[in-house]
Structures are given as structure tokens and as C-alpha cells.
């Protein structure tokens, strides 16, 4: 075993109760089942994989029959592609019958079932993902994946351009896997092939691009990978906008937060990303809220403790703190220690200033229900925010008096 890899990792993987149960259920004469892909790769790195995949020569219907005979729950999650999920003690184990590509168009593949583990390995994307492990502990490496894993190198299997033409999403996967498992510059052949095939990104569904890009943003070396995407012009084809790499480096490890840090400067950016990446309504709302914080802080030379209540009242302490961490180190705004302490305290306590005046208060003073109430409340809120969100005993009366002078309709009493 090369230095840097865990020689005991494969044995620990095979010893997992769910793995043992699946392999025992699929143990049949003249058939073969192996652990494959990411779980084997992670075992060699000394990590415990959350996803366990197995490949088998057994046809899907027989996989289901054998699993159920062994008392395991079998779910035909992708039966048309030969995939059955076996559930052991609540943990899923994906079992896929060996396949061979008959036809590919860069988005979808037509496959047929096979019995050749070598051909199955050759149809995968990267050498580090083509490893397999037999129940007896034999590690199979037909593409050089072990050496690449030890060297922290991500390479396509065979000709990079061919692998990418089979599925253009592999352009993004190349960067994601390099950001997670690679070291140094990306593999030159893979990088050149990815850049040459950049037009293929437009042939992918935006949902697939979104899912893969958000995963990339969570990788340990995401900033370096995104920088390369930007330098090669690939990022513009994915997000359609500018890249704030410094802000990405300071962002928390939550995918939508990282996407906002990288790509959002204004509300229009959030709208563009919703269309470009098919974001959910909740994700777009989060990005819009982040853009609103940026607008609140834009052009402000400094932020001191007196400014914090209004910031939190408008945007909440958690989001305000997130935005300020992303902006940390930029010339504006200069955040005082007192402001940071105040914001931290409000975030910890879960407090948020609330306008001590309601529409009912205005109606009780004779403002007719309708647009006039909203106009008066907005005027009161603007004054309250400007004063730093006071909560003294007389603030409600002051705000009420101010609001009544701003009501656009006659007061009835």
C-alpha cells in the first residue's frame, strides 16, 4: 500500500454490519459482487463513507429476490438502470448490476447489463472512482487509481475528452473531485479537455449543474477550483456573472451562503442565479436577503455599536453576522469591536428589535384602515431605525405622534 493510504481501511469497510449482510445475501454460485467506487476510495483514505455502492453480475430481479429471502428490505430505486437499494438497519446500500455503454450523447447513456468488472471500471469517470473490493479483501485497481489517490491526483480514465463527451457534467465533477481529493494544479489533460468542451455545459439541465456546483462550493479547496473555473471562462457559463473569490474564501461552509458570497452583489444577481441555476424559492429568498444586507451596508464607512440595532431589526442578527464575516477585510465598512460584540450578543440571545407601534395603534387614533396606515407605519419605522431602535417608555408616543403627521388621509378623531 502506498504511503499516505490506510492499509486497514478496506478491512474496516468489509466489516461494517450492513456491508456484511448485503454481501452474504448476494453470495451466489457463478456470480460476483464487489464494493465499488467512492466507499472504496474513502476507505483507502481512512474515511468512513456515508454512501456504500456495490456492483454485481446478478440481474436486478434476482438481487431483489435474494435480498428479500435473506430478510433484507429491497427497494427498486433505479431498476431501469439496474439499481436496487438494500436497506440494513436503516442504512441504504446501492447495488447495481454491471453495465456497458451502448450509446452516449453527453447527457444520457443507453446501457445494457454485463458481467465484466474491467469494462465497468473503464466506463467510470476518474481513476480514483474505479476501484473495487471483493468480499475476500482483494483490492482491484485496473486504471491506476491507487497511485493517483496516494499522489492526490484526479485523472480521467482513458482519454479525458472521450469521458467528457459521454457526460458533460464531468467537467464540473472534475473540478469538484480535484477540490476535494487533489493537490496542486489540476491534471493538464483533464483541464484542457474541460475547457475545450465548455459548450457542452449548455446541453445540461440547469438542475444538474446546480446540484454539482453547490457540491463543489463545499469542497476543501473550492476557492482554488473556482478560481481556475473563472480564469478559464468556465465559471461565466455556469453562473453568468462575476466572481468574488475573496468573499467566497471568507464564507461559511453552507452551499447557498457560499454561492451568495461568490456571485451576489445585488438583488438582480439573486434573480439571475435563480434562473441560471434553477434555485428553489427558498434559496433565492436567502440570496435576496443577503443582497439586502449588502445594500444596507453599501457605502457606509463604518459600523459602530449604535448602528447594530437597526441592522438587526431589518435583517436579523445571524444574517447580518454572516454578511459582515464575508465582507471582513474589505475597506468598507470598518466594523468596531463594540459593534461586533453587540451583534454577537444579539445573535446569541436571539433578540431582534421590534417596532413598538402597530397598525391597530394608528386605527385606534383615527387613521382609517387602508394605505394610510402603511404609509404612517413606514414613516414611524424610518424614524425609529434612525434613532437606533429605542425602547424607552416614551418611544411609542413619540412614534405615534410622528406617524399621525405623516398619514395621507384625514384623521377621524
SS (H, E, C) 212-237: HHHHHHCCCCHHHHHHHHHHCCHHHH
Show the cell assigned to 166: 459521454
pLDDT in tens, 245-297: 999 999 988 999 999 999 999 999 999 999 999 999 999 999 999 999 999 99
CB distance 48 to 25 below 8 Å: no
In sequence order, what are the beta bridge partners of 21? none
pLDDT of residue 241: 85
Alpha helices in 78-133 (DSSP H): 117-122
Give the pairing of strands 91-97 and 52-56: parallel
**C-beta separation of 22 from 93 below 8 A:** yes
Going from the C-alpha of 171 to that of each of 203, 233, 340, 375, the distances in angstroms are: 12, 13, 41, 52
Q: Cis peptide before 333, with omega less than 30 degrees from 0?
A: yes
pTM exceeds cut of 0.75: yes
pLDDT score recorded for residue 412 = 59
Residue 111 has pLDDT above 90, yes or no: no
Residue 367, SS3 per DSSP:
coil
Are 409 and 372 in contact, with CB atoms under 8 Å apart? yes
Quick check: 77 pLDDT over 90?
Answer: yes
C-alpha to C-alpha distance for 206 and 270, rounded to whole angstroms: 15
Structural domains of the chain ordered from first start: 9-150 (3.30.460.10), 168-294 (1.10.3090.10), 299-349 (no CATH), 359-406 (no CATH)
Q: What is the pLDDT of residues 152-202, one digit of tens each?
A: 999 999 999 999 999 999 999 999 999 999 999 999 999 999 999 999 999
CA 323 to chain centre: 18
Amino acid at each position: 500500500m502506498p504511503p499516505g493510504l490506510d492499509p486497514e481501511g478496506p478491512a474496516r469497510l468489509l466489516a461494517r454490519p450492513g456491508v456484511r449482510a448485503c454481501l452474504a445475501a448476494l453470495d451466489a454460485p457463478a456470480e460476483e459482487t464487489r464494493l465499488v467506487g467512492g466507499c472504496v476510495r474513502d476507505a483507502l483514505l481512512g474515511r468512513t463513507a456515508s454512501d456504500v455502492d456495490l456492483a454485481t453480475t446478478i440481474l436486478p430481479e434476482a438481487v431483489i429476490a435474494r435480498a428479500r429471502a435473506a430478510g433484507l428490505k429491497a427497494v427498486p430505486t433505479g431498476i431501469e438502470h439496474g439499481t436496487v437499494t438494500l436497506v440494513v438497519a436503516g442504512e441504504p446500500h446501492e447495488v447495481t448490476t454491471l453495465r456497458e455503454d451502448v450509446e452516449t450523447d453527453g447527457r444520457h447513456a443507453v446501457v445494457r447489463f454485463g458481467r465484466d468488472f474491467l469494462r465497468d471500471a473503464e466506463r467510470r469517470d476518474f481513476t480514483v472512482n474505479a476501484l473495487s473490493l471483493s468480499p475476500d479483501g482483494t483490492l482491484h485497481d485496473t486504471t491506476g487509481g491507487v497511485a493517483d489517490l496516494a499522489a492526490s491526483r484526479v485523472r480521467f480514465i482513458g482519454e479525458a475528452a472521450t469521458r467528457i463527451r459521454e457526460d458533460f457534467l464531468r467537467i464540473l465533477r472534475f473540478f469538484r473531485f480535484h477540490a476535494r481529493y487533489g493537490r496542486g494544479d489540476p491534471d493538464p489533460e483533464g483541464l484542457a479537455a474541460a475547457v475545450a468542451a465548455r459548450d457542452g455545459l449548455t446541453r445540461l439541465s440547469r438542475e444538474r449543474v446546480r446540484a454539482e456546483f453547490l457540491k463543489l462550493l463545499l469542497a476543501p479547496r473550492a476557492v482554488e477550483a473556482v478560481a481556475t473555473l473563472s480564469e478559464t471562462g468556465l465559471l461565466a457559463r455556469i453562473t453568468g456573472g462575476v466572481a468574488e473569490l475573496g468573499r467566497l474564501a471568507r464564507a461559511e461552509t453552507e452551499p447557498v451562503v457560499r454561492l451568495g458570497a461568490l456571485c451576489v452583489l445585488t438583488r438582480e444577481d439573486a434573480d439571475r442565479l435563480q434562473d441560471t441555476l434553477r434555485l428553489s424559492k427558498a434559496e433565492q429568498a436567502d440570496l435576496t436577503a443577503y443582497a439586502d444586507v449588502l445594500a444596507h451596508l453599501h457605502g457606509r464607512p463604518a459600523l459602530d455599536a449604535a448602528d447594530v440595532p437597526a441592522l438587526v431589526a431589518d435583517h436579523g442578527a445571524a444574517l447580518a453576522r454572516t454578511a459582515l464575516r464575508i465582507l471582513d477585510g474589505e475597506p468598507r465598512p470598518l466594523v468596531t469591536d463594540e459593534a461586533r460584540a453587540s451583534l454577537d450578543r444579539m445573535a446569541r440571545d436571539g433578540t431582534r428589535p421590534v417596532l413598538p407601534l402597530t397598525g391597530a395603534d394608528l386605527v385606534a387614533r383615527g387613521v382609517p384602515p387602508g394605505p394610510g396606515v402603511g404609509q404612517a407605519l413606514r414613516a414611524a419605522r424610518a424614524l425609529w431605525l434612525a434613532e437606533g431602535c429605542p425602547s424607552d417608555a416614551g418611544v411609542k408616543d413619540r412614534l405615534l405622534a410622528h406617524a399621525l403627521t405623516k398619514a395621507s388621509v384625514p384623521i377621524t378623531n
